Amino acid sequence: MVTRETKRLVFWSSFVALTAWPVVAWAQSTSATITKHGSEIDIRSSGRIVAEALRDGSILLEAASPPSTGFETTAAQIQPRGENTQVNDAALDYVELLPSRRPFVNATQSETSVAAFGQNIVVAYNSSAGFHHSIGPGVFYDRIRFTGYSVSNDGGNTWRNGFVPPAAGAWGTFGDPSIGADRHGVFYLAHLGVDANFGDGGQFLVQVNRSTDGGISWDEGAVLQVDNGNDKNWLAVGPDPIHRNRDNIYVTWSSFQPGRTELRFASSADGGSTWAVKTIFVPTANPDPTKPQARLQFSNPVVDRVTGTLYVPFERYSFADQDFIQMLVSDDAGESFRLATFDIPGAPDRTLIPVTEVGELTSCGTNNLRLTIHAGGDAGPGQFGRPRWVNASRMVLQPALAAHNGVVYLVWHNSTSPQFGDPAASSNILLVRSLDGGETWSAPIRINPLDATDRHHVLPAIAVGDNPFSVHVSYYTQHVDGTIDLDVVNSQDGAVTFPPQRTIRVTTTPMNLPPTNIPLTGAPTFASTNYDRTVVSCYALGEYQSVTAANGSVYAAWGDTRNEITQPVHPLDPISGQTHPQEDVFLQEIKAQ
């Protein structure tokens, strides 16, 4: 019998066939795509795409198919403390065998966000282990908890795992987590949620959960806004610029609306009990396709831990090869905002940093073109003749920022080619800095070392320690042989230099990309599947990793593919019985002495 609580996500084959197309139509009509070189490029996050695929039934579509800083410092030694530690519980991964369908291999953990306070360390991430099916008159999901977490209350020696609860009365969570802690050690976690009617015409939520016991347990999610266009929420915690004895919580997100993508904002001055919500930026279109258009994504708010100034960088899209980074700044806890001015030579205006996104334009399943880094062989031409790399990981550009006492650093990855999707390009991590609270900025500099054995440097995160000139940037490095490591570069002079002796290879073993874009059909559909079929094609490393500075240490948390899993032997599985990498979450403490 299908109960009221489980009937919402029953997927009949006829229903699936009818709802496969509206996913794409909805995305185009609400500015969730951009047009590059005549092709529609999806800019939704991984959590949003998974949620829509489940809501609309398409996840089961192929069920039966096969300068001088003026700061004096002494040289610091940067070294790992302890070993790489897997923080997610491997025992939670599992395989579901359902009648007349390919197996569900629920074994993906990625997109990490880490926060620490005292001995408490919490890592949040996407986890497909939180999905579970049941069988009745049809196949349905009886549990969807895509937002997982791991917590240590003894400084990282031992870990426990769980899934963050949805909002009161709501149905599930869909990841894209962002976590922070206030001065009292209360942890806050923003992520993508859905309401109680999800699957029956329900809506998406912006939600924040709170933990007052060091990350052991979590309150039900507080609903900031019911927003059916919501995607990619991000959270920041820091002092109020006037009432310095109080921490505020801020959340930003993209809201896909017809013809534009709005930047929305919520703030709480009472520890998350109440929230004020508003739209803080509505981009406008420009008749010149090379100029910024009415689409934005991947905001990343950060609070200066001393001054309380709030910075909100985000990506602004064009219809040409180069896109842009813009940034809003607030000195009054979000009451008002102004655009930062970077004065980059050649930029269309003073508020823009021109960027070229990283990766090759890849066919990643029906009606989906994505930028990816990849390894291995091309499985043959896909949509519009684009390659279909089986071992691929989608790339997006989320600018990362850190600020301390008016010293501000902004980093991003950037292609070495001016052409969007250039298959011959490599990539670097670029940085700009401000010593006056964001009023003036340096010119962009490359901060990753150059090595002939490395091709890509992607998805950076940044943290600043108690010393505002102690800068730590983590990122993935893909080598020319296709393997991947996590590296951290460190500066003690305010990002003037990043000496080689302070550059750390964090991962103790190189990683291989898993099979995430396995062809199921050729033309005209070009369908493909991730080995973990709950997760959309071409998702491996996720869209971000994380680093934070606390307790005199730096903590890096990342999606790691060193472990392997064997597919069940099954006639409908295109990689039946194969052993391949899977995604887990690892953490490393780094000590600066």
- For 59-118, write each residue's pLDDT tens digit: 543 433 333 333 334 445 678 889 999 999 999 999 999 888 899 999 999 999 999 999
How confident is residue 482, by pLDDT bands cut at 50, 70 and 90? very high
Q: In the predicted model, what is the mean pLDDT of residues 120-144?
A: 89
pTM of the model: 0.92
Q: In the predicted model, what is the mean pLDDT of residues 15-27?
A: 29
359 φ/ψ angles, rounded to the nearest 5 degrees: 120, 165
Percent of the chain with pLDDT over 70: 90
Q: What per-residue confidence (pLDDT) applies to 58?
A: 55
Q: What per-residue confidence (pLDDT) applies to 196?
A: 85
Q: In the predicted model, what is the mean pLDDT of residues 453-462?
A: 98
| Model pLDDT for residues 147-181, shown as the tens digit of each residue | 999 999 999 999 999 999 999 999 899 999 999 99
Following DSSP, what letter does each residue of 479-533 receive, concatenated? Answer: ETTS-EEEEEEEESSSSS---GGG-EE--SS-B------EE---TTT--EE-SST
Q: Which residue has the higher pLDDT, 567 or 12?
A: 567
Domain 7-79+109-334+350-592, classified CATH 2.120.10.10, yes or no: yes
| Model pLDDT for residues 509-561, shown as the tens digit of each residue | 999 999 999 999 999 999 999 999 999 999 999 999 999 999 889 999 999 99
Q: In the predicted model, what is the mean pLDDT of residues 426-431?
A: 98
pLDDT at 306 over 90: yes
Q: What per-residue confidence (pLDDT) applies to 184?
A: 97
Q: Which of 107-111, 166-170, 249-253, 438-442 has the lowest mean pLDDT?
A: 166-170
Residue 421 contacts residue 322 (beta carbons within 8 Å): no
Q: What per-residue confidence (pLDDT) applies to 83?
A: 93
Give the start-end residues of each E strand in 177-269. 178-181, 187-194, 204-211, 222-226, 230-239, 247-257, 260-268
Question: Which letter does DSSP use for residue 554 in this model?
Answer: E
68 φ/ψ angles, rounded to the nearest 5 degrees: -70, 140
Q: In the predicted model, what is the mean pLDDT of residues 267-292?
A: 97
Q: What per-residue confidence (pLDDT) applies to 456?
A: 98
Q: What per-residue confidence (pLDDT) applies to 48?
A: 87
pLDDT at 119 over 80: yes
Q: In the predicted model, what is the mean pLDDT of residues 217-224?
A: 96
Residues in CB range of 288: below 8 A, 6 or more apart: none
Q: What per-residue confidence (pLDDT) applies to 56?
A: 65
Q: In the predicted model, what is the mean pLDDT of residues 427-455?
A: 97
Q: What per-residue confidence (pLDDT) applies to 529?
A: 95
pLDDT at 459 over 60: yes
Residue 439 contacts residue 468 (beta carbons within 8 Å): no
Residue 518 contacts residue 575 (beta carbons within 8 Å): yes
